[in-house]
Amino acid sequence: MRRFISGTRFMLFFSFVCLSVFLLSAMYIGGSAAKERSLLEYRKQYYKDQSHKLAYAVQTHIRSERLSKDEIQLLHHFSAVYTFAFRYYAADGSILLFDSADNRPLAAEPYDFDVPIIVEGNLIGYIKTYFDLSRHDFSYYPGSTMESSRPNAYIFAGLLILSVFLSFVMAKKLSNPIIASSKVADHIAGGIRGTRMPVTGTSEMKQLASTINALVTEFDRQEGWRKQMMQDLTHELRTPLTSLLSRIDAILDGILPATEENMHKIHTEIDRLCRLVDDLEKLSEAEGARFELNIEQVEMTQLVKDVYDGFLFMSKGKGIHLTFRKPHVPCYAEVDPDRIIQIVSNMVSNAIKYTQAGGSVEIGLYPADIGIIIYCQDNGIGISKKELSLVFNRFYRVDKSRRRKNASGGIGVGLSIAKALVEAHGGTIGVESAPGKGSKFYFNI
């Protein structure tokens, strides 16, 4: 019960009902008060008109201040015709000459008028009429139709029922997607990953559901990578460790002589293990943003040229034509030069790695609206469209078995480190590639 009361549907329903009751009551009370006011004004105007009519009738029949018997008789007649009470006073207003209100009950809301009686230019008396604003019992009173058309309590009740119904419909409509989403969220939290939030309801709810769906998809992907990473790491570590162990065991058992060649093989395995640990360290440093950037103003052309020079020997050894495209203008930027060298080196070493002998690799830079763009283009094996968005992910390698067999290969963290470093500089990194045609990696600073 408590859960139901604190639920969104009930809360919305309750709020809508409260709001509509408040609005309807305000309209009803406001409408009644306004009608009452205009009716009162109407009544007063009507009473005034009646008073003047009576005064006119009196004026046409009474000739002097003193009332004759016939005139008194006439006033009695008027009192019967006009159902309201009136008094007739002498001209100075102090002497009461006729009172039709003798036996009438007191008015609850008295309202009176003074109308002077003027005959041939002389003031001969006053008529004072008396009304009760709380009553309107004239049979010929034209306002009676108005009075009867007061705001109807039945209409109010009808509107109230309608608003309760509409409140329920609205509350249901608004809360349905929330309830459905919460059920799906429970499923997801419980490990049922295939389910997705229904994208329905208000625009904010749709937005929220889409965002959560994207989060779940991303979470699934991350989880996949995590599993893959554990597999890769175990494999990467086990292979050199097993090989090392068997070699050392063999030397200790005297099966393998401790020659320079055998020691060199052990050294290569240890070196590979060290590089692997180094890569992991660099990755956690870069991704955890635990590094400090030593920003300084650098002429980027020279910096990229230095990287190019560093790779000339290696590319020649592999039979790859490495070129450097210089910009026409000096390109200065505020960067950490060591980190930029690290990023460009990673791109160039990958390009050389994934380009066959006889291929070519071009490194270059140029100024653009978004800063300086540095790129490395090769005509190597390229990357398929499907893999393209994944190459910047940690431990992602396009061809896993091939990389493992290659002792000089990385563990698929070079580009994710480069990405973290570029982002730390406020830039973005990207790639364009086509299988068999080559790849172009670039970033802006």
Residue numbers of the site for ligand ADP (CB under 6 A)? 346, 350-351, 354, 378, 380-383, 391, 396-399, 403, 409-416, 439
Taking the complex as a whole, the smallest distance from the CB of residue 420 to ligand ADP amounts, in Å, to: 11
Residue nearest ligand ADP, CB atom distance? 410
Closer to ligand ADP at the Cβ: 128 or 353? 353
Please give the full DSSP string across 302-348, using - where no structure is assigned. HHHHHHHHHHHHHHHHHT-EEEEE--SS--EEEE-HHHHHHHHHHHH
Taking the complex as a whole, the smallest distance from the CB of residue 435 to ligand ADP amounts, in Å, to: 9
The residue among 75, 63, 165 whose CA lies nearest residue 117 is: 63
Taking the complex as a whole, the smallest distance from the CB of residue 321 to ligand ADP amounts, in Å, to: 15
Taking the complex as a whole, the smallest distance from the CB of residue 251 to ligand ADP amounts, in Å, to: 31
First to last CA, the chain: 59
16: part of which helix (H) or strand (E)? helix 8-61
Taking the complex as a whole, the smallest distance from the CB of residue 393 to ligand ADP amounts, in Å, to: 8
Which residue is listed with tokens 């080196």? Answer: 345
Closer to ligand ADP at the Cβ: 129 or 350? 350
Closer to ligand ADP at the Cβ: 331 or 421? 421
Q: What stretches of 113-152 show up as alpha helix (H) in DSSP?
A: 144-148
Distances (CA, A) of 283 to 220, 280, 289, 403, 444: 21, 5, 10, 18, 21
Contact, 413 vs 394, CB < 8 A?
Answer: yes
Taking the complex as a whole, the smallest distance from the CB of residue 302 to ligand ADP amounts, in Å, to: 24
The whole-angstrom distance between residue 360's C-alpha and the CA centroid of its chain comes to 50
89: part of which helix (H) or strand (E)? strand 85-90
Taking the complex as a whole, the smallest distance from the CB of residue 425 to ligand ADP amounts, in Å, to: 18
Taking the complex as a whole, the smallest distance from the CB of residue 222 to ligand ADP amounts, in Å, to: 17
Whole-number Å distance between alpha carbons of 137 and 303: 105
Cβ atoms within 10 Å of 28's Cβ, excluding its own: 17
Closer to ligand ADP at the Cβ: 425 or 440? 440
Closer to ligand ADP at the Cβ: 132 or 232? 232
Whole-number Å distance between alpha carbons of 342 and 256: 40
Closer to ligand ADP at the Cβ: 20 or 360? 360
Closer to ligand ADP at the Cβ: 8 or 268? 268
Closer to ligand ADP at the Cβ: 62 or 361? 361
Longest Cα pair distance anywhere in the chain, in angstroms? 160
Taking the complex as a whole, the smallest distance from the CB of residue 194 to ligand ADP amounts, in Å, to: 29
Closer to ligand ADP at the Cβ: 129 or 416? 416
Distances (CA, A) of 402 to 206, 272, 353, 354, 394: 44, 16, 12, 11, 18
Contact, 337 vs 445, CB < 8 A?
Answer: no
